[in-house]
């Protein structure tokens, strides 16, 4: 049974009314304002850096192993979110994984449509390699669209014969911009964040009105998945994007990817973002941390 804090969080999210059918600037302002309710812990350190020309930020908790790196890609349907709104989650990830986190401020749609986000993720990863950091000491972490972007980045790296990261952790990843997952409509009444209509609007903002929603680097569900690194996917049963995770995991397993699908009963989309007020969010981040520490001893 979910904690009592979940119902309170769902009510707050429904009252916030951040939807893809809003004007883009209105969406961004609403999300940024909501994110200020979850400030980063005061003992974290932040340092701005241009990672391969991409505005990024080092985030470190006290005692973090500087040789263990997590490259973090925030969610937001490729249209909202930024370094500031991701600091709480990035800081928690640093603490749980005992790692330095490179939070990447990739370009957003519709001003910078696909493949801008993939290009920025690749540039930041390759910048880490150029700093002398072995790929075996890097994990990719992303939530929602950032989770899909993390997977797409690994696909692009594999196709370019670049060194692959040690692991990928994706929270409720967006893997199918074509929106062919039944859960988008079947679980709509449960999800206070994602709607079919809003998600499709954001997908079109990202690939363009005539873009290919099934391009393998925009929708990694449609990519060849052989040879990808070990992967942990966390998803809640109350997510509209539930099938984006389960369908992807089934395909990845068939392709020989060492993948763990971790299903959380009654959890909503991106619930670990709200670890400040949701015990299950804290538990999920602790699990992610253990997974990354095991992948990068």
pLDDT tens across 224-273, in order?
999 999 999 999 999 999 999 999 999 999 999 999 999 999 999 999 99
Name the residue ranges covered by the structural domains of the chain.
4-295
Q: Which of 85, 103, 119, 239 is catalytic?
A: 239
Give the per-residue pLDDT at 19: 67
Q: Which of 85, 245, 269, 280 is the catalytic position? A: 269
pTM of this structure: 0.97
Write down the number of H helices and E strands in the chain: 9, 8
CATH fold, domain 4-295, is: Rossmann fold (3.40.50)
- Residue 286 is predicted with a pLDDT of 98
How would residue 20 be classed by pLDDT, with cut points 50, 70 and 90? Answer: low
Which tokens go with 159? 């196709």
For the question of residue 3 being annotated catalytic, the response is no
Please state, in angstroms and rounded to a whole number, the distance separating the CA atoms of residues 124 and 5: 36
Catalytic (active site) residue 111: no
Instruction: Return d(Cα 10, Cα 22) in angstroms, integer.
Output: 20
> Among residues of the chain, what percentage have pLDDT more than 70?
99
- From the candidates 144, 181, 183, 245, give the one annotated as an active-site residue: 144
- Tens of pLDDT, residues 71-88: 999 999 999 999 999 999
Whether residue 207 contacts residue 177, with contact meaning beta carbons closer than 8 Å, is answered with yes
Q: Is 144 a catalytic residue?
A: yes
Under the banding of pLDDT at 50, 70 and 90, the label for residue 155 is: very high
Distance CA 74, CA 87 (A): 10
* Lowest mean pLDDT across 8-17, 128-137, 165-174, 214-223: 8-17
Please check the confidence at residue 50 and state whether its pLDDT lies above 70. Answer: yes
Query: Looking at 9-23, 172-186, 276-290, which range is the least confident one?
Result: 9-23
Q: What are phi and psi of 295, to 5 degrees?
A: -75, -30
């Amino acid at each position: 049974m979910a904690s009592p804090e979940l119902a309170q969080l769902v009510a707050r999210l429904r009252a916030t009314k951040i939807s893809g059918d809003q004007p883009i600037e209105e969406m961004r302002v609403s999300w940024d304002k909501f994110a200020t309710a979850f400030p980063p812990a005061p003992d974290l350190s932040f340092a701005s850096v241009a990672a391969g020309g991409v505005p990024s930020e080092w985030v470190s908790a006290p005692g973090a192993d500087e040789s263990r790196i997590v490259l973090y890609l925030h969610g937001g349907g490729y249209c909202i979110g930024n370094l500031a709104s991701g600091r709480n989650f990035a800081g928690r990830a640093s603490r749980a994984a005992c790692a330095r986190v490179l939070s990447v401020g990739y370009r957003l749609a519709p001003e910078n449509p696909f493949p801008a986000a993939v290009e920025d993720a690749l540039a930041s990863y390759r910048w880490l390699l150029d700093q002398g950091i072995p790929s075996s000491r890097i994990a990719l972490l992303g939530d929602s669209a950032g989770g899909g972007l993390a997977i797409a980045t690994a696909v692009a790296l594999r196709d370019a014969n670049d060194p692959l990261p040690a692991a990928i952790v994706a929270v409720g990843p967006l893997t199918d911009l074509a929106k062919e997952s039944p859960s988008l409509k079947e679980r709509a009444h449960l999800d206070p964040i994602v709607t079919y209509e809003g998600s499709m609007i954001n997908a079109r903002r990202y690939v363009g009105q005539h873009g290919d929603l099934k391009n393998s680097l925009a929708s990694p569900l449609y990519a060849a998945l052989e040879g990808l690194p070990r992967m942990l996917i966390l998803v809640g049963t109350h997510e509209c994007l539930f099938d984006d995770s389960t369908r992807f995991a089934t395909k990845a397993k068939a392709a020989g990817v060492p993948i763990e699908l971790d299903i959380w009963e009654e959890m909503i989309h991106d619930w670990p973002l709200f670890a400040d007020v949701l015990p299950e969010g804290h538990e999920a981040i602790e699990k992610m941390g253990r997974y990354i520490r095991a992948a990068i001893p």
